[in-house]
Each structure stands twice: as C-alpha cells, then as structure tokens.
Structure 1
Amino acid sequence: MNKYLFLLLSLFIIDSSLGQTTDTQKINTILDNWHKAAAEADFDSYFELMSKEAVFIGTDAAEVWNKSEFMSFSKPYFDQGKAWDFSSVNRNIYIGPKGDIAWFDELLDTWMQLCRGSGVLKKENGQWKIAHYVLSLTIPNDEIEAVIDVKREIDSTYIKSLVRQ
C-alpha cells in the first residue's frame, strides 16, 4: 500500500473518531452528573436525568418510589442545600444489542460507607435517561449473621404486613 494513502486513511480514521463519544462514556457522564447534582443539591438537574416513569428503590424495604414520589421525598433535602453525596468508585456498564437500553452496577462511597447502586438507562429521543435505580448496602459475608440479628424483628413485621395485603 502506498505510504501516503496509508497515512491519509490513518488520519481520516483518527479524525472521524475524535469528538465522538461512545454510549458508555455518555452513560458514565450522566451517572457522574446525577450523583454530582445530588451532592450540590441541584434538584432540577438531578431529576432531569431521570426518565418520566423512573423508579428509585432505596435501602429501606418500604422505599420504592416512582419519580413523582421520589421528588416529593427528596425535595426537603435538596431545599436544605444538602441532599446526599455518593461517589462512584467502580462502575460496570452494559449496553443491549439494539443500543437503546443499558444497565449498570456501581460501588459507591457514601455516608453509609460502601453501597451498591444498580440500574437501567434507556434512550428517550436520543438521550440516555435513568429509568430504574436501586441503592443497597453492602454487607461483608462474615458479618451477615450480626446484620440479620439487627433486622430480624423489623423484617418479620414488615413481611407480615405485606402478606396481609
């Protein structure tokens, strides 16, 4: 191959890839900005990154909110100027074969110590939006019995209330 043609093709490939952001990079940025918006108590930016029908599941068994419910729950914290400050220390992102759904898991540095976030994003009008998020505490396997002892009575009562419904 002619070295000038090779050089020209190489420059074209490099030039065409510059400025392109992969979906994985976009999703990383969205999740980082979402956590940043909470840390800065930026209510509008935080909820703008979520889809209209988003669901947020918190660490308490009763915390399953649609977007509107989560906004109502969160508003007082944001209004006080201090919502929550979660920083991702490790994140895995997976994108579906059609490129319109993604799921992720992340380890978070939080006031509760190490937590796990996981969720789903979907493309809406070409933009990634958080559609489902689950926040959970991580419990070392060696400590699970002690945690079960703390939770036993509360969980038993809650389970009974769910079974009666």
Structure 2
Amino acid sequence: MKRLFIALCLFAASLSASAQQADPALARAVNAFVDAWHDDAAHARPAYFDKIAPDGVYIGTDKSELWHQPQFKEWAKKYFERGSAWSFKAVRRNVYASPDGNFIWFDEILDTPNMGPCMSSGVIRKTATGFEILHFQLSFAIPNELAGQVTKLVKDFESKQH
C-alpha cells in the first residue's frame, strides 16, 4: 500500500509541472463518468465497482477505511444489498490531465444527504475501453473555525479506544 501511495505521489509530482486543465471534451467525458459512478452508488448498481480499476484504491473518511477494489466491494456489499448505498452530488469539480490525456485527476466538493459537505479527489486512468478509477479519497469538509472542536472530539474518542 505504501508503495502504491508513494508511486502515485511521485507520478503526480512528475506531472505537476506539465499538469493542465483537461481539454473541454475530456473534462465533459470525465464529468459524465464520475457523475455516473456516483449515481451508480446512489442506486446500488453493481456497475459502480466495475468503474474502479482492479488495482484501484478507495479511501473513506475513517482512518481504517483504506481498501483495494475487492475489499471495498466486500465492505460495501451490505449497503448495495439494501437498494441504495450513498448519494454524492458534485457541487464543483476540477479536472486535470496529463499531456497525453491518459491520466486524469480531479477534486470535487460534494453535497451528501447523510454526511453534509464533503470533498474528494481521484485519479483516473484512460484505457482502450474507457476510464477506470485508480484512486479515490473522500473527506469531510470541516470549516476551519470548527477544526479545533473536531480535533478534540477525535482525540477524546481515540483515547477511550485504548
């Protein structure tokens, strides 16, 4: 896992000098893909997991939530069995691409009914058959003014876990 993370960081760093907003056609295709992926979760469609690369990683909001695609699919099974998993609607999304357009990354602000405002980022690989998500990370969007209170709650919670 550490190697994958380091490789992604080095890859992103190597591209940062040449990183650019994705061209409009690619950005539209990526937006449609990511919107469909979020919609698949909202409607518990198995296609949701097909959009994650077999070697893809999903990082949730809890520090224990770091899964490779097969483990994530198993963890999420209980949510998909009930007919709807989670609902994420992008309020804003930025899409960037490598010069050849084969690697795309995005960041987005999400409206979620159950978790409030969230932020996410992801890395997408373009393949001969379409796009696949290599890496996705979800986080709560906590206002800076509340960060101290949230940090204290987390520290208090974790101190009781030991």
* TM-score over 0.5 (shorter chain): yes
Higher RCO (C-alpha under 8 Å, 6+ residues apart): 2
Structure 2 alignment gaps of length 5 or more? 1-23
Q: Over alpha carbons, which structure has the higher Rg? A: 1
Shift of 1:124: 2.0
Matched, 1:117 2:120: yes
Shift of 1:112: 0.6
Q: Structure 2-normalised TM-score?
A: 0.80
Alpha carbons of structure 1 residues 147 and 53: separation in structure 2 relative to 1, 3 Å: same
Out of 22, 26, 36, the position equivalent to 1:23 is 26
Structure 1 alignment gaps of length 5 or more? 1-20
Out of 95, 103, 108, the position equivalent to 1:93 is 95
Query: Match for residue 61 of structure 2?
Result: 59
Q: Structure 1-normalised TM-score?
A: 0.79
- RMSD value, Cα: 1.7
Query: Match for residue 80 of structure 1?
Result: 82
User: 2: distance between equivalents of 1:156 and 1:150?
Assistant: 10
Matched, 1:39 2:42: yes
Shift of 1:82: 1.9
Alpha carbons of structure 1 residues 155 and 93: separation in structure 2 relative to 1, 3 Å: farther
Shift of 1:153: 3.4
